[in-house]
Structure 1
Amino acid sequence: MSHVPLGYRIENGKAIIDEKSAEQIKTLFQSYLSGDSLRTAARKAGIGSFHGGVCKILQNARYLGDAYYPAIIDSDTLAAAEAERIKRATRLGRIREPEEKAEIIFPTAFRFLENPECVDEQADLPTSPFQQAEYVYSLIESEVS
């Protein structure tokens, strides 16, 4: 597996353009922008990759050139390919905004009665905190059958 993008090769520690592969990259961009699908554009360019790999090639900003890699395509071509990719994905319903989920608030605080004798007279609750907890847990329905 190579870490060098298609269209380049390394010679003497420097990236240089591989003319044959660079022509494949240019053909891929031209075919995709002319309306071909990812697979068809890759086939026309002679690139044997799956559609996800071809999509990554179309999004790779290294083809614009940087301090290490020389430029193969211009920024207008890369921007046009990205705009076309987003347009097609939107048309096909493949761009989805994440749904905002309602925050679930779990009860994590427990309140012990400060004067159990007073409440005991009114509501017939147990008087010790341990008995109160046992009573509260007994009210929870068991989900185990």
Structure 2
Amino acid sequence: MMQRHMPIGYKLVDGKIQLDEPKAAVVKKIFADYLSGASTSSLAKRLTEMGFPNANNKASWNHGSIGKILENVKCLGDEFYPQMIGTELFEQVQKRRQERCEQLGRSIQPNSANRQYSFTGKLRCGECGEVYRKYIEHCGRASEKSFWKCKRYIYRNRVCCRCGFLADEQIEKAFIEVANRILARLQILDRTPKKEPIPNSLVYNKLDQRIRELEAEGRYSSKELPALIFERAQAFYKTARIDDTDHNTGKMKQAFSGRQLIVEFNEELFLTVIKQITVYADHQLVFEFINGLTMEAGY
């Protein structure tokens, strides 16, 4: 995960992200208090006064840092992060934030990278590997249209990627199709995805060999040994993968259990079971589920 900070309310334990219960309780209270009418500024003041550490481990908060917590979709849970905030509460908070922006005469830029939609961060171009972003044309007019386009469609005023544009309705229809395939035959979820082998790390092997040499020589008090052990752990972590296939398959079975075939797009189901969608120029979408299962659908 290429990110600078672990989101507040989470911690890494034995290579797996878990809820940091004391901090998660504070995050949950931030959501609840904001929905109850507290402003982001008052919440920031309260956290600063209580000495609660921010993402930089400093007891210094402002309305912007509170806003980042309130808009962080990771708290809804995904393939790495356990759910901290319920979907209904999260959506209610987003609605109040939008209302507050309108009351204060502010606006959320429709094409901002920070604007979150159901498919934000889920779509990737199968031709060039870039992410898809939502672009709104003629915003606020009767002719307003929105499409998902590859980030590299236009680069330095040139068309660099010709992978297809998608409307929300096309993605939703394709998801309904693959979801109904699963609902019609839940045994599909028991398919075991092919596991990729852990790449052989030359750096790890070199460090491990040197550590073995020092230990064989009985040089346990060497100042070099602790540093090498730490570097070896870092090298291992870079290549290690969390095998949570069974856990995520169980999560999917629970999400699909008891449902009839769906006729409308279900955002909660989508966010629960889909890891990524790859878009190809031949009008094909490849849905990758959180347990590694993949299914194709046209658009």
Q: TM (normalized to structure 2)?
A: 0.31
- Aligned-pair distance for 1:44? 4.3
Aligned counterpart, 2:71: 59
**In 2, Cα distance between the equivalents of 1:73 and 1:15?**
16
Q: Give the counterpart letter for 1:52 in structure 2.
A: G
Q: Could you tell me whether the CA contact under 8 Å between 1:10 and 1:16 is conserved in 2?
A: yes
For 1:83, the equivalent position in structure 2 comes to 95
2:10 touches 2:18 (CA, 8 Å); kept in 1?
A: yes
**SS of alignment partner, residue 81 of structure 2:** coil
Flag the structure with higher strand content: 2
**In the TM superposition, what is the alpha-carbon distance from 1:39 to its structure 2 partner?**
2.1
1:112 aligned partner: none
Residue 95 of structure 1: CA displacement? 1.4
Change (3 A) 1:95 1:9: same
Aligned to 1:21: 23
CA distance in 1, matches of 2:16, 2:5: 14
Distance 1:22 1:96 in 2: 27
Say which structure is richer in helix.
Answer: 1
Change (3 A) 1:44 1:83: same
Is the CA contact 2:101–2:108 (under 8 Å) kept in the aligned structure 1?
Answer: no
* Pick aligned residue for 1:73 from 85, 102, 105: 85
Structure 2 match to 1:104: none
Mapped partners of 2:38, 2:96: distance in 1? 11
2:279 aligned partner: none
Q: CA deviation at 1:8?
A: 0.3
Structure 1 pair 96/72, CA: closer, same or farther in 2 (3 Å)?
A: closer
| Counterparts in 2 of 1:70 and 1:96: CA distance versus 1, 3 Å | closer
1:39 equivalent to 2:51? Answer: no
CA distance in 2, matches of 1:86, 1:8: 27
Instruction: Note the alpha carbon deviations across 1:4-24, whole angstroms, 9 max, x for none.
Output: 000001111111100111001
Cα deviation for residue 43 of structure 1 reads 4.2
Query: Residues 72-127 of structure 1, C-alpha deviation per residue, up to 9 Å, x if partnerless?
Result: 111111111111001001011011779x8xxxxxxxxxxxxxxxxxxxxxxxxxxx
- For residues 27 and 37 of structure 2, the distance between their equivalents in structure 1, rounded to whole angstroms, comes to 16
**Does the C-alpha gap of structure 1 residues 2 and 43 become closer, same or farther in structure 2, counting only changes over 3 Å?**
farther
Matches within 5 A, 1:102-121: none
The question of whether the paired residues in 2 share the 8 Å contact of 1:28 and 1:42 is answered with no
C-alpha RMSD over aligned residues = 2.3
TM-superposed deviation, 1:42: 3.7
- Structure 2 residue ranges without an equivalent (≥5): 53-59, 111-137, 139-299
Note the C-alpha offset of 1:66: 0.7
Task: Give the TM-score, by structure 1 length.
Answer: 0.61
1:60 partner amino acid: N
Deviations 1:32-54 (A, max 9, x none): 00101002224445554211111
Secondary structure, counterpart of 1:83 in structure 2: helix
- For this pair of structures, how many residues does the alignment match? 99
